[in-house]
Structure 1
Amino acid sequence: MKVLAINGSHRKGSTLILLEEALKELSEFETEVISLCDYKLEYCKVCNACKKNGGICIVNDGYQEIEKKMKEADAIIVGSPVYFGSITGMLKTLFDRSRTLRVNWELKDKVCAAITVGATQHGGQEHTLQAIHAWALIHGMILVADSDPTAHFGGAAVAKQVDGEFKIDEWGLQTARSVGKRVREVLKAIKG
């Protein structure tokens, strides 16, 4: 089984660290992390070409590689820092472009979980998690959150960058680990 982690940040920092923490709980599976900052993604223009031609986007950019990876995955963990109370624009662009996958329900029944990080406590983490949840639910994915001992809406952390290093709160790191644990439990339950 394969788990894909998507770093929706414009850089490789605290969100990536949290995704890697979650993947430590999934060492028995094939895992991969991609960072959207490594790809060029154009905006979805809702031209409806994908609806007319079976789910193929006519815009040729980095999306096709990400789309392939999402199709191949059994589970997807999406991470985003909080940008003005929600997900990054880059991640929103990916979500909009994933309309191609909804044409044929290609993400349906894949396990999905969310991780986020903000600069302050109560800095928009729950709203960011909800934006990721909405995307997963619209695709018919099996949405999971973190599990015991944290059990809320997903991985949610507070991070500060000090002298080029990211300092992430221990509880936030634990929520990321709990996300990985829950994805593992659900994958085993539904996939054997």
Structure 2
Amino acid sequence: MSTKVQIVFYSMYGHIYQMAEAVAEGVRSAGAEAEVLRVAELAPDEVLEKSGAKQAQAAFAHVPVITPDKLAEADAVIFGTPTRFGMMAAQMRNFLDQTGGIWAQGKLIGKVGSVFISTGTQHGGQETTITSFHTTLLHHGMVIVGLPYSEKGLSRMDEITGGTPYGASTLAGGDGSRQPSANELELARHQGRRVAEIATRLKTTH
């Protein structure tokens, strides 16, 4: 039976969705099954329309909305979220706050967990968002996987780029106009592949 990896994301303007698709490519390149899922939106339609997010979200409206119990079906879960003041977006926090039932049953213990994110600026909380997200994963007993410096794209100095040892990241720009770069998407693929490979090893040793 193939390793099952869920990529669970929240995206407002599509940056994290693009990264999620790249993560899924990496998962599949390792011979694992990738399922891309999104968490429910909380903002009212009028707010989304006024900000332009409603139009952007149409690009991934076809992606199924996940329910907390579905997490238990995966061997690994890679979460993606934009940053809000150095922490995860409320939509993702709301979803995680609904996982008490599977936490009580220990459904995620021993599964691989990983995180990728986006920020508006270079120093907009890329690392704090990921490491604070890890706290929830540790409460669930998950095995955290990051992105090691063997990935050369983390050390690039010839361009402005996201990418941390804790997980892949992208920079959206102050107005959201910047799109994920080739380097950022490649780092996301590496993260997906690494998670899938480690999850497969863990699965085959149990």
Question: Shorter-chain TM-score category?
Answer: 0.7 to 0.9
Whichever residue aligns with residue 10 of structure 2, its letter is: G
Structure-to-structure mapping, 1:137-156, within 5 angstroms: 137-147=138-148, 148-149=150-151, 150=154, 152-156=165-169
Partner of 1:168: helix, strand, or coil? coil
Q: C-alpha separation between the residues in 1 aligned to 2:36 and 2:90?
A: 19
| Cα distance change on mapping 1:19 and 1:134 into 2, 3 Å | same
Partner of 2:6: helix, strand, or coil? strand
Partner of 1:107: helix, strand, or coil? coil
Structure 2 residues not aligned, in runs of 5+: 44-63, 155-163
User: CA-to-partner distance for each residue in 1:88-140, whole Å, 9 max, x for gaps?
Assistant: 11111111111111111111011111000111111111111012211111100
Report the counterpart of residue 20 of structure 2 in structure 1.
19
| Cα distance change on mapping 1:38 and 1:2 into 2, 3 Å | farther
Q: How many residues align?
A: 166
Report the counterpart of residue 37 of structure 2 in structure 1.
34
Whichever residue aligns with residue 111 of structure 1, its letter is: V
User: CA-to-partner distance for each residue in 1:23-68, whole Å, 9 max, x for gaps?
Assistant: 101112222111113689xxxxxxxxxxxxxxxxxxxxx99x5223
Report the counterpart of residue 174 of structure 1 in structure 2.
186
2:91 is the counterpart of 1:90:
yes
Retained in 2: the 8 A contact 1:116–1:155? yes
Among the aligned pairs, what percent are the same residue?
Answer: 28
Report the counterpart of residue 57 of structure 1 in structure 2.
none
Which piece of structure 1 moves more, 91-100 or 166-175?
A: 166-175
Retained in 1: the 8 A contact 2:69–2:102? no
Partner of 1:33: helix, strand, or coil? strand
Structure-to-structure mapping, 1:57-96, within 5 angstroms: 66-96=67-97
Offset at residue 159 of structure 1 (A): 2.1
Q: C-alpha separation between the residues in 2 aligned to 1:74 and 1:120?
A: 33
Retained in 2: the 8 A contact 1:12–1:35? no
Report the counterpart of residue 56 of structure 1 in structure 2.
none
Retained in 2: the 8 A contact 1:78–1:132? no
Q: C-alpha separation between the residues in 1 aligned to 2:93 and 2:137?
A: 13
Structure 1 residues not aligned, in runs of 5+: 41-61
Partner of 1:97: helix, strand, or coil? coil
Partner of 1:190: helix, strand, or coil? helix
TM-score by length of 1: 0.78
Alignment root-mean-square deviation, CA: 2.3
Q: C-alpha separation between the residues in 1 aligned to 2:112 and 2:99?
A: 16
TM-score by length of 2: 0.73
Q: C-alpha separation between the residues in 2 aligned to 1:158 and 1:12?
A: 12
Offset at residue 174 of structure 1 (A): 2.9
